[in-house]
């Protein structure tokens, strides 16, 4: 098959245009705005990519549209927020809003709410990491005494002692890396998922 025909089949201007970034403004509750920002920061992905994942999955957006029919959004503590989306993502939102006769803001809000289980899971992993770090640091204190004892017994030039020093050097690096991950995750500690908000109110 001719190479130019392959290229024409796999690529089109419409497909490329659909990937273009566009700006759109929505009126959302603060929780939704903070939720997508926190998840993007914690996972190290762009908010645009999260929107694409949530909205361009037909099964997810249809489920959200069905849920939106029964949803009555609270008018309190809502604010306008401009996001960067792909043109495809925005087109899908517009199409579903028109088909289901729903406000686009409601579709976006409920799409973002799908991230609540993600942030709950990440918060639990964050707490588990803090426990792991404490245990690693406790083990390191024991290891320091053991390493010093090894040096006294066999000398610093001993091959086994040198291997132990390499081991603990790598171990220290692992502690530093884990500590950095935990530091990055501290922004989640004060963030309450929808489930946690309900518990705090109750």
1 domain residue, yes or no: no
Predicted model pTM: 0.73
> Distance between CA atoms of 82 and 113, rounded to whole angstroms?
17
Query: Is residue 18 over pLDDT 80?
Result: no
Q: SS3 of 2, please?
A: coil
Of 74, 99, 114, which closes a domain?
A: 114
Same domain for 134 and 45?
no
Q: Domain span at residue 164?
A: 118-201
46-68 pLDDT, tens digit each: 999 999 888 877 788 888 888 88
> Distance between CA atoms of 163 and 9, rounded to whole angstroms?
58
Confidence label for 178 from pLDDT (cuts 50, 70 and 90): very high
Strand partners, 28: 79
pLDDT of the residue at 14: 56
Same domain for 110 and 155?
no
Of 114, 135, 164, which closes a domain?
A: 114
Per the structure, the count of domains in the chain is: 2
Same domain for 34 and 85?
yes
pLDDT of the residue at 131: 98
Confidence label for 188 from pLDDT (cuts 50, 70 and 90): confident
Same domain for 21 and 101?
yes
Of 60, 93, 114, which closes a domain?
A: 114
């Amino acid at each position: 098959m001719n190479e130019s025909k392959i290229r024409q089949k796999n690529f089109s201007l419409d497909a490329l245009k659909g990937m273009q970034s566009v700006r759109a403004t929505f009126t959302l509750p603060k929780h939704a705005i903070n939720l997508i920002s926190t998840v993007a920061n914690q996972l190290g992905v762009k908010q645009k990519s999260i929107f694409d994942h949530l909205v361009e999955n037909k099964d997810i957006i249809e489920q959200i549209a069905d849920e939106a029919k029964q949803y009555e959004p609270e008018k309190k503590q809502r604010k306008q927020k401009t996001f960067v989306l792909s043109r495809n993502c925005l087109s899908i939102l517009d199409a579903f809003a028109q088909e289901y006769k729903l406000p686009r803001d409601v579709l976006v809000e409920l799409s973002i709410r799908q991230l609540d289980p993600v942030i709950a899971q990440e918060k639990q992993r964050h707490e588990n990491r803090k426990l792991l770090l404490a245990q690693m640091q406790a083990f390191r204190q024991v290891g320091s005494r053991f390493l010093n004892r090894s040096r006294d017994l066999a000398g610093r030039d001993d091959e086994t002692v040198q291997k132990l020093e390499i081991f603990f050097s790598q171990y220290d690096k692992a502690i530093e890396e884990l500590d950095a991950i935990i530091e990055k995750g501290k922004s989640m500690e004060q963030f309450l998922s929808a489930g946690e908000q309900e518990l705090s109110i109750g």
